[in-house]
């Protein structure tokens, strides 16, 4: 049996979003199906369902596969303290930002809780979302939610019961894998870098058994078989179906699915995937297994166009369904693919633009401008920025090392008070460089960030603030 990518993608459109349509109904829609389509569809559903957990695990492996902390990597249970913004060589996480200094840690709370201590942030904007293995942001201490004073939390794992020290607040994770993905706003100047570094050095993560006394984390164990060069997404997408489901089944033993997922995943038993058990590859049909990863990833990326939770306004696509996904497995997988570690919408909204106002792909061979009317810069209580990515959602190398543009560039205003951001490959000239977002020579993608988006009018959350289009400048 041969399944072409086009045929399978068309089948996915006919079968709908998030649940298989019975073959009879699909046939009534004019689609022709092959023998065993039900099993193929179940395998694709299982792939999409598990994409966040597998991607989180592969990210964890790469980011913790070092003997000691340094740069943007550290062993399990040790803090990663980004001392400067990532550059164009960074490939660990898709869609990184150049507005905050990441202060992160991977911990395994399956055996015992881990204690997170935050210092007095002195009013600085920061947030410390805690993600479980399925990418759900289960808690998010920070300026918006808990203020900027000193705080201490215990992250406890599934099934843990016990007594915590006085003054320690419990945050429970339903998985053993937890990613503390802290972000501290920084302007990028030497003085501000130094101030944020001092705050980072006061943050600590320690196991409960060592809390309150001197603790020296053990050195990390380096696994030479882990690919430390290829982008994590490429590693995940490069797995065969059998490899993928083997990893997924193993992960689900210590990172159980949510109760609400039970009806959905119960169907996967027929293809050999049962939570708490090893994957039974003998139940996966070999004649279509090779197409499962590519077709499933096509379905994930297709959500930009067809998922009703994705709004498309003036060439910008965004959703307010991030951080907490419920049973919207396709949305969860999409956010994983293009922005692993996304926050709750109350903390950040990420409008993304793949095409200009005329519906054409962006190209560095052209010049573009986005104009904000007077008083209509992006409304955010934390900060806003516009970031340039290549077609793979990674930073673009440029002569001024500017990967995002925001109010901290001291943007120049037009005589009427409006603000133009110039998007092109070559410098627009010294008088306009403050408003320049450098582009590559080829295709690119734009992403806006609104951290702590305004909850009052105007607001992107309720639609009272509308993102202006990006228009091509005539030659």
Going by CATH, does the domain composed of 5-57+232-301 fall within 1.10.3360? Answer: yes
Q: Where in the chain is the domain with CATH 2.60.120.600?
A: 311-472
Q: Residue written as tokens 């995937």?
A: 273
What class is the 311-472 domain? mainly beta
Among residues 151, 72, 75, 78, which one has the least CA distance to residue 117? 151
HEC profile of 420-434: EEEEECCCCCHHHHH
pLDDT single digits (tens) 263-320 = 999 999 999 999 999 999 999 988 889 999 999 999 999 998 888 899 999 999 999 9
Q: Whole-angstrom Cα distance, residue 409 to residue 393?
A: 23
Which pLDDT belongs to residue 18?
30
- Residue 133: how many CA atoms within 13 Å on its side-chain side? 27
From residue 202, give the alpha-carbon distance in Å to each of 79, 103, 151, 192, 469: 11, 11, 12, 16, 42
Among residues 281, 294, 419, 329, which one has the least CA distance to residue 6? 294
CATH fourth-level superfamily of 66-210: Domain of unknown function DUF1254 (2.60.40.1610)
User: 75, 66 in Cβ contact below 8 A?
Assistant: yes
Q: Bridge partners of 179?
A: 106, 131
Q: Residue written as tokens 């920070």?
A: 142
From residue 373, give the alpha-carbon distance in Å to each of 259, 419, 434, 465: 47, 7, 18, 11
Q: Whole-angstrom Cα distance, residue 66 to residue 75?
A: 6
Q: What is the mean pLDDT of the chain?
A: 91
- Written as tens digits, the pLDDT of the chain (475 aa) is 333 333 333 233 222 223 333 333 333 333 345 566 889 999 999 999 999 999 999 999 999 999 999 988 999 999 999 999 889 998 877 788 899 999 999 999 999 999 999 999 999 999 999 999 999 999 999 999 999 999 999 999 998 999 999 999 999 999 999 999 999 999 989 999 999 999 999 999 999 999 999 999 999 999 999 999 998 999 999 999 999 999 999 999 999 999 999 999 999 999 999 999 999 999 998 888 999 999 999 999 999 888 889 999 999 999 999 999 999 999 999 999 988 999 999 999 999 999 999 999 999 999 999 999 999 999 999 999 999 999 988 999 999 999 999 999 999 999 999 999 999 999 999 999 999 999 999 999 999 999 999 988 899 999 999 999 999 999 8
From residue 395, give the alpha-carbon distance in Å to each of 92, 265, 323, 387: 12, 36, 23, 8
Q: Bridge partners of 368?
A: 423, 472
User: 95, 343 in Cβ contact below 8 A?
Assistant: no
Q: Whole-angstrom Cα distance, residue 173 to residue 322?
A: 18
In eight-state DSSP terms, residue 107 is: E
Among residues 140, 212, 208, 135, which one has the least CA distance to residue 171? 140
Q: Whole-angstrom Cα distance, residue 356 to residue 316?
A: 9
User: 464, 379 in Cβ contact below 8 A?
Assistant: no
From the CB of residue 139, how many other CB atoms can be counted at a distance below 10 Å? 21
Q: Whole-angstrom Cα distance, residue 322 to residue 328?
A: 10
Burial class (CB in 10 A: 0-12, 13-18, 19+), 149: exposed
Q: What is the pTM of this model?
A: 0.87
Which pLDDT belongs to residue 36?
67
Q: Where in the chain is the domain with CATH 2.60.40.1610?
A: 66-210
Which pLDDT belongs to residue 129?
98
Q: Where in the chain is the domain with CATH 1.10.3360?
A: 5-57+232-301
Which pLDDT belongs to residue 291?
93
Q: Whole-angstrom Cα distance, residue 113 to residue 171?
A: 10
User: 204, 118 in Cβ contact below 8 A?
Assistant: no
Q: Whole-angstrom Cα distance, residue 448 to residue 467?
A: 10
């Amino acid at each position: 049996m041969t399944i072409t990518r086009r045929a399978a993608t068309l089948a996915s459109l006919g079968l709908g979003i998030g649940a298989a349509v019975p073959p009879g109904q699909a046939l009534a829609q004019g689609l022709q199906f092959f023998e065993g389509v039900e099993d193929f569809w179940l395998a694709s559903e299982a792939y999409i369902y598990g994409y966040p957990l597998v991607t989180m695990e592969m990210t964890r492996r790469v980011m913790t596969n070092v003997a000691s902390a340094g740069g943007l990597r550290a062993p399990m249970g040790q803090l990663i303290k980004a001392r400067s913004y990532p550059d164009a060589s960074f490939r660990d996480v898709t869609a990184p930002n150049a507005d905050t200094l990441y202060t992160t840690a991977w911990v395994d709370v399956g055996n015992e809780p881990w204690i997170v201590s935050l210092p007095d942030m002195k009013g600085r904007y920061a947030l410390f979302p805690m993600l479980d293995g399925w990418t759900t942001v289960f808690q998010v201490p920070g300026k918006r939610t808990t203020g900027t004073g000193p705080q201490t939390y215990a992250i406890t794992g599934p099934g843990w019961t016990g007594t915590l020290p006085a003054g320690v607040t419990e945050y429970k994770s339903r998985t053993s894998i937890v990613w503390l993905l802290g972000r501290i706003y920084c302007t990028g100047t030497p003085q501000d870098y130094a101030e944020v570094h001092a705050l980072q050095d006061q943050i600590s993560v320690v196991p409960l058994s060592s809390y309150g006394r001197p603790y020296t984390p053990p050195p990390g164990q380096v696994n030479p078989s882990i690919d430390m060069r290829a982008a994590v997404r490429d590693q995940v997408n490069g797995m065969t179906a059998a490899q993928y489901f083997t990893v997924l089944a193993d992960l689900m033993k210590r990172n159980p699915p949510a109760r609400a997922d039970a009806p959905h995943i119960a169907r996967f038993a027929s293809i050999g995937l049962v939570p708490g058990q090893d994957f039974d590859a003998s139940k996966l049909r070999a004649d279509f297994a090779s197409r499962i990863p590519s077709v499933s990833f096509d379905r994930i990326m297709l959500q930009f166009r067809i998922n009703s939770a994705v709004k498309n306004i003036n060439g910008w696509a965004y959703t307010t369904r991030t951080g907490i996904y419920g049973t919207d497995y396709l949305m969860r997988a999409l956010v994983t693919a293009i922005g692993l570690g996304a926050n709750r919408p109350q903390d950040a909204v990420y409008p993304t633009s793949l095409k200009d106002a005329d519906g054409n792909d962006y190209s560095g061979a052209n010049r573009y401008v986005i104009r904000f009317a007077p008083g209509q810069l992006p409304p955010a209580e934390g900060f806003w920025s516009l970031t340039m990515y290549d077609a793979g959602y990674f930073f673009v190398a440029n002569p001024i090392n500017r990967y995002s543009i925001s109010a901290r560039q001291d943007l120049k205003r037009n005589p009427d008070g409006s603000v133009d951001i110039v998007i092109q490959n070559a410098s627009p000239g010294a008088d306009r460089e403050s408003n320049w977002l450098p582009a590559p020579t080829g295709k690119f993608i734009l992403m806006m960030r609104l951290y702590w988006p305004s909850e009052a009018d105007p607001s992107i959350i309720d639609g009272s603030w509308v993102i202006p289009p990006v228009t091509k400048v005539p030659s």
